[in-house]
Structure 1
């Protein structure tokens, strides 16, 4: 399917009554599609998807459109949202330790590349801390460096290990056995996509 048709199909999945903080609605998307402004339309659809939980089909089709347009960051974001539809959403406020207090000495990409370990309160059978792996996406921040803060989304390698998290809970990030950052959980939502039959 070509990009305009994909974006039109995705647009039909957005409820007419939702709007972003800037009062962007699906009508704005249709205006941009009518003028062949596909990249702008895709960006607006991403924003509308952040306002209202939309189905897995929405994010899968949007990812395909972004890939066809060679918009790598948008494609990565849409794939991230596909993961969240299937496995749930975990958002937190992360503060990284400054240079010299942790292993991290340089900034890293905020686009879901880093896969640190997290102490989320799980224990080994012998009672030691059991660290769990989750990819990290820094919202509204292309790179994140030592001493910086950001709102982040986490994509656990094993989501079942994370089901006990609650808003307000403090968890720690590790790139080795030392603490690289501290995060306070803001939101936890279960999967929205129905499991495949």
Structure 2
């Protein structure tokens, strides 16, 4: 499929009553598609998806369209959202330790590149702290500076390790033995396959 077909197909997966905070609807997006403003339509479809959960096929189509348009960050975001549906996702409020108090002296990328270790309360068979790995996406920011604070999304490498977490729980981020940051869980979304049948 070419870009217009992918975007049209994705837009058909959005319920008509869905609207962004600025009251943009699927009807508005069709106007952009008619005028070949594909990058705008893509961005608005991504924004519409914040209003309600949309199926995996929606994100797969957007990812392919973003790749064809060579919009790297948008493609990475759409692939990230596909992974969230498959593997589950945790949103949290992260505060990094200041550069003077931590090993990290440089900003972290906000686009899901970093895969730090997290102390989420597990112990090893010998009773020592056991950590779990999760990729990190910083919402609405290209980078997060040392000492900075942001809402993040975590994509667990092993989703089953994270099932006990609930909103309000504090976890710590590690890039080595020292604490690199502290996060408070805001939301927990289980993998699509792990959701109970209705």
Q: TM-score, normalised by structure 2?
A: 0.96
1-side partners of 2:6 and 2:191: how far apart?
24
Equivalence map 1:8-27=2 (5 Å)? 8-27=8-27
**Pair 1:119-2:114 in alignment:** no
State the partner residue of 2:171: 171
Give the 3-state SS of the residue equivalent to 1:173 in structure 2.
strand
Q: 1:183 to 1:125 in 2, by over 3 A?
A: same
State the partner residue of 2:80: 80
Runs of 4+ in 1 over 6 A off after TM superposition: none
1:194 CA drift (Å)? 8.4
1:92 CA drift (Å)? 0.2
State the partner residue of 1:184: 184
Q: 1:159 to 1:176 in 2, by over 3 A?
A: same
What do residues 36-63 of structure 1 show as CA deviations (whole Å, max 9, x unaligned)?
0000000000001121100000001110
What do residues 133-185 of structure 1 show as CA deviations (whole Å, max 9, x unaligned)?
11100000101110000000001111110111100000000010000000000
2-side partners of 1:130 and 1:143: how far apart?
28
Q: TM-score, normalised by structure 1?
A: 0.96
State the partner residue of 1:151: 151
State the partner residue of 1:98: 98
Q: 1:150 to 1:8 in 2, by over 3 A?
A: same
State the partner residue of 1:52: 52
Q: Does the CA-based 8 Å contact 2:168-2:184 persist in structure 1?
A: yes
Give the 3-state SS of the residue equivalent to 2:50 in structure 1.
helix
Q: 1:76 to 1:122 in 2, by over 3 A?
A: same
Q: Does the CA-based 8 Å contact 1:173-1:182 persist in structure 2?
A: yes
Q: Gaps (5+ residues) in structure 1?
A: none
Q: Gaps (5+ residues) in structure 2?
A: none
Q: How many residues are matched?
A: 195
Let me know the Cα RMSD of the aligned residues.
Answer: 1.2
What do residues 88-129 of structure 1 show as CA deviations (whole Å, max 9, x unaligned)?
121000000001211110112100001110000011011111
Give the 3-state SS of the residue equivalent to 2:99 in structure 1.
coil
Q: 1:193 to 1:13 in 2, by over 3 A?
A: farther
